[in-house]
Amino acid sequence: MVAERIKNLCQIQYLNYFYTLKGMGNLAKDEKKLVEEITSMSEDFAQWYTDIVKKAKLVDYSGVRGCMVIQPYGYAIWENIQKGLDLRFKATGHENVYMPMFIPESLLQREKDHVEGFAPEVAWVTHGGNEKLAERLCVRPTSETLFCDHYSNIIHSYRDLPKLYNQWCSVVRWEKTTRPFLRSAEFLWQEGHTAHATAEEAEAETLRMLDVYADFFENELAIPVIKGRKTDKEKFAGAKATYTIESLMHDGKALQSGTSHNFGDGFAKAFGIQYSDENNGLSYVHQTSWGVSTRSIGAIIMVHGDDAGLKLPPRIAPIQAVIIPVAQHKEGVLERANQLCDQLSKAFRVKLDDSDKSPGWKFSEYEMKGVPLRIEIGPKDIEKNQAVLVRRTTREKFFVSLDNIEEEVKNHLDSIQQEMYDAALKNREEKTSVATNYEEFTNIVSEKGGFVKAMWCGELECEEKIKADTSATSRCMPFDQTPVADTCVCCGKPAKKLVYWGKAY
């Protein structure tokens, strides 16, 4: 069928005397169109985000409040994120499991802080068919209670430890306001849940998984992150300590991109997860949990995107290179393009677009979809045994020989990945400030935005005052605690911690 189509296209051949003239004459108009398609970032960041999500066909809105349809292109990104993370989980000894999506109310209420944290935003199932349930079931907002219940059944001896489980699933939280990927009523994620013999092991696991997340975000998603610990105010409901990776979006707002919690033995005591140790004594396990969600797709959009649309890091892009044949009706063009596609498909995720849209249309379309590398091939190229590579990041053109195109594509994809990370890091650094007094602090938050590094006395009152005055929150206490002053930026008392502050999604 493909061969037949190519044959038909090749029968139609025309001479175009206005080739050059037409191309040049249309330039001004076309460039205007390019800008008009998507709302510009600087004009309206929120609208820009919505435009991209819709126009790149990542999601569609659904009939259910706060819930989104993840379309094939968006889901393909998620699948690549899953692959990258799952590989790392397996490499660190974790196994995948699946828990029920319903939690009996009595189970949810077993741990006090946990239920207080989540109860306001859970969805309840009250009926089965027409019959009212004896005990209502909540749709999981997170699965700690289910894992704990299960662990209490299967952990008896120190020989059963550690348990290193992970689950890929969706969870439901009845959020007040929702936005695709950033906050939806139902979202996809993975949640790791582990049980360990000692507090030290649990702490090591918590930090190890934070490192796994940081490595994944920086090396695969090309998003630089700040690793640190959450303040008590911001930590997970029921956790002893919450660690986080925080990233900075293009508009200067922070995004909590992944969290890793150390539960100590709090859940174990609430759920009775005990084991016999080497000395036949009875001990409680120490637990962790950690998660990354489809929110990471929102981070990719807002860290890398520009006014032309999405910009995907090569390592997770569903299409790494798109081949666009030029003058595809001409003898041999499609054959050569197909041949090139077959050749490159062995090493890369490649798409050949042989639809009858004009090349210019395709250029813009795949830029909008964030494809890192475009490969143009037309009659002139075939004559010279070359192809044109165009980088999504810079739009720079490279004429490369078809003889070593695989190597060229590989080199470009690698350097685009690096270039995107460097650009994101540069942006974050430009939007990171230091404040040593309160006036300076409030001015930076309201005018410049971004991360503000400032000292903190450790008191909840100051955290709350800062939030009330500026709407900025403590994002994390970074592992790098090099102080920037001696006194709390808010109250002036002696400082205990360096904190990254910022407005957050």
Taking CB under 7 A as the binding criterion, the range among 12-20, 202-210, 433-441, 454-462 that sits at the site for RNA is 12-20
b/e map 66-79, b = 16+ CB within 10 Å:
bebebeebbbbbbe
Binds RNA by CB under 7 A, chosen from 63, 127, 129, 131 = 63
Positions 256 through 275 that interact with RNA (CB under 7 A): 256-257, 259
CA distance 372 to 416: 7
First vs last C-alpha separation in the chain = 49
CA distance 179 to 54: 12
| Nearer CB in complex with RNA: 90/233 | 233
Taking CB under 7 A as the binding criterion, the range among 76-84, 100-108, 212-220, 291-299 that sits at the site for RNA is 291-299
Q: Quick one: how far is CA 307 from the chain centroid?
A: 20
Positions 390 through 419 that interact with RNA (CB under 7 A): 390, 395
Binds RNA by CB under 7 A, chosen from 42, 358, 418, 481 = 358
| Nearer CB in complex with RNA: 152/256 | 256
Residue 307 CB, nearest distance to RNA (Å)?
11
354 to 29, 76, 338, 345, 395: CA distances (angstroms): 25, 21, 9, 16, 21
Q: With CB under 7 A as the rule, give the number of residues binding RNA.
A: 86
Residue 404 CB, nearest distance to RNA (Å)?
18
| Nearer CB in complex with RNA: 34/485 | 34
Positions 101 through 160 that interact with RNA (CB under 7 A): 117, 120-121
Binds RNA by CB under 7 A, chosen from 65, 83, 112, 448 = 65
- What pairs with residue 44 in β-bridges? none
Asked if 406 and 344 touch (Cβ cutoff 8 Å), the reply is yes
Give the angle subtended at the CA of 197 by the CAs of 195 and 200, to the nearest 5°. 95
Residue 78 CB, nearest distance to RNA (Å)?
12
Binds RNA by CB under 7 A, chosen from 110, 329, 349, 496 = 329
Strand positions, DSSP E, 23-160 = 59-61, 68-70, 95-96, 102-104, 123-128, 131-139
Taking CB under 7 A as the binding criterion, the range among 7-15, 123-131, 207-215, 432-440 that sits at the site for RNA is 7-15
Comparing CA positions, the residue from 287, 195, 226 lying closest to residue 501 is 226
Q: Quick one: how far is CA 348 from the chain centroid?
A: 22
Residue 243 CB, nearest distance to RNA (Å)?
12
Positions 21 through 50 that interact with RNA (CB under 7 A): 22-23, 26-27, 29-31, 33-34, 37, 44-47, 49-50
Helix axes 359-368, 27-37, angle to 10 degrees: 30
Does position 214 interact with RNA (CB under 7 A)? The reply is: no
Counting Cβ atoms within 10 Å, is residue 5 exposed (0-12), middle (13-18) or buried (19+)?
Answer: exposed
Residue 501 CB, nearest distance to RNA (Å)?
13
Q: Quick one: how far is CA 296 from the chain centroid?
A: 1
Positions 169 through 198 that interact with RNA (CB under 7 A): 173, 175-180, 182-185, 187, 189
Positions 437 through 496 that interact with RNA (CB under 7 A): 467-468, 471
Residue 495 CB, nearest distance to RNA (Å)?
24
